[in-house]
Chain A
Amino acid sequence: MEERRINVVVNEEPKSVDVEPRLLLAHFLREVLGLTGTHIGCDTTNCGVCTVLVDGLPMKSCTMFAVMVDGKSVTTVEGLGLPSELHPIQEGFREEHGLQCGFCTPGMMMASKALLEENPNPTEEDIRWGLSGNLCRCTGYQNIVKSVLWAAEKLRSEAGAISR
Chain B
Amino acid sequence: MYPSRFHYEAPRSLDEAFGVLQAYGDEAKILAGGQSLIPLIKLRFAAPACIVDINNIPGLDFHEEDSDGSLNIGALCRHRTLERSPLLRSKYPTMSATAPLIADPMVRNRGTLVGSVCHADPQGDWASVMLAMGGEIIARRADGSERAIPVSQFVVGPFQNALAQGEIAVRARVPAARGTRTGTYLKLERRVGDFATVGLAVALEVSGGTINRAGLALTGVGPNNIQCTAAEQSLAGKSLNASTIEQAARLAAEAAQPKTDVRGSAEYKRHVVYTFVTRALSNRQASAA
Interface set of A (CB-CB < 8 Å, partner B): 1-2, 4, 20-22, 24, 27, 43-45, 48, 51, 57-60, 62-65, 67-68, 70, 111, 129-130, 132-133
Q: B35: CB under 8 A from chain A?
A: yes
The 0/1 profile, CB within 8 Å of A marked 1, for residues 97-118 of chain B is 0000001111101100000000
> B193, A133: Cβ atoms under 8 Å?
yes
CA distance A133 to B105 in the complex (A): 6
CA distance A133 to B6 in the complex (A): 29
Find chain B residues with CB under 8 A from A62 CB. 42
The 0/1 profile, CB within 8 Å of A marked 1, for residues 249-282 of chain B is 0000000000000000000000000000000000
**A58-B105, A132-B192 are known contacts. Are A64 and B38 too (CB-CB below 8 A)?**
yes
Q: Which residues of B in the span 170-223 have a Cβ within 8 Å of any Cβ on A?
A: 192-193
| Closest residue of B by beta carbon distance from A20 | B5
CB distance from A72 to the nearest CB of B (A): 10
> B35, A63: Cβ atoms under 8 Å?
yes
> B109, A58: Cβ atoms under 8 Å?
yes
Q: B8: CB under 8 A from chain A?
A: yes
Interface set of B (CB-CB < 8 Å, partner A): 1-8, 10, 34-35, 38-39, 42-43, 51, 53, 55, 80, 103-107, 109-110, 192-193
> B193, A21: Cβ atoms under 8 Å?
no
CA distance A57 to B83 in the complex (A): 15
CA distance A4 to B6 in the complex (A): 12
**A45-B35, A65-B38 are known contacts. Are A60 and B106 too (CB-CB below 8 A)?**
yes
Task: Give the residue of A48, A64, A70 whose beta carbon is less than 8 angstroms from that of B34.
Answer: A64
Task: Give the residue of B34, B55, B107 whose beta carbon is less than 8 angstroms from that of A133.
Answer: B107
CB distance from B279 to the nearest CB of A (A): 22
| Closest residue of B by beta carbon distance from A70 | B10
**A21-B7, A63-B34 are known contacts. Are A43 and B106 too (CB-CB below 8 A)?**
no
CA distance A62 to B38 in the complex (A): 9
> Taking each of B1, B10, B106, which has the highest tally of chain A beta carbons within 10 Å of its own beta carbon?
B106
Tell me whether chain A's interface is mostly helix, strand or loop, or mixed.
mixed
CA distance A163 to B169 in the complex (A): 48
> B38, A63: Cβ atoms under 8 Å?
yes
> A22, B107: Cβ atoms under 8 Å?
no
Find chain B residues with CB under 8 A from A67 CB. 8, 10, 53
11 contacts between A and B (CB under 8 A): A2-B5, A22-B5, A24-B42, A43-B43, A45-B107, A48-B104, A51-B106, A67-B8, A67-B53, A68-B10, A70-B10
> A48, B106: Cβ atoms under 8 Å?
yes
| Closest residue of B by beta carbon distance from A67 | B8
Find chain A residues with CB under 8 A from B53 CB. 67-68
> A59, B110: Cβ atoms under 8 Å?
yes
CB distance from A66 to the nearest CB of B (A): 10
CA distance A57 to B33 in the complex (A): 14
| Closest residue of B by beta carbon distance from A115 | B105
CB distance from A77 to the nearest CB of B (A): 15
CA distance A138 to B55 in the complex (A): 36
> B106, A133: Cβ atoms under 8 Å?
yes
> B103, A133: Cβ atoms under 8 Å?
yes
Find chain A residues with CB under 8 A from B34 CB. 63-65, 68
> B105, A111: Cβ atoms under 8 Å?
yes
**A43-B42, A45-B35 are known contacts. Are A133 and B104 too (CB-CB below 8 A)?**
yes
Find chain B residues with CB under 8 A from A1 CB. 5
Find chain B residues with CB under 8 A from A2 CB. 5, 7-8
> B39, A45: Cβ atoms under 8 Å?
yes
Find chain A residues with CB under 8 A from B1 CB. 43
Task: Give the residue of B4, B55, B103, B105 whose beta carbon is less than 8 angstroms from that of A130.
Answer: B105
Find chain B residues with CB under 8 A from A21 CB. 5-8, 51
| Closest residue of B by beta carbon distance from A63 | B38
Task: Give the residue of B4, B5, B106 whose beta carbon is less than 8 angstroms from that of A59.
Answer: B106
CA distance A127 to B5 in the complex (A): 39
Find chain A residues with CB under 8 A from B5 CB. 1-2, 20-22
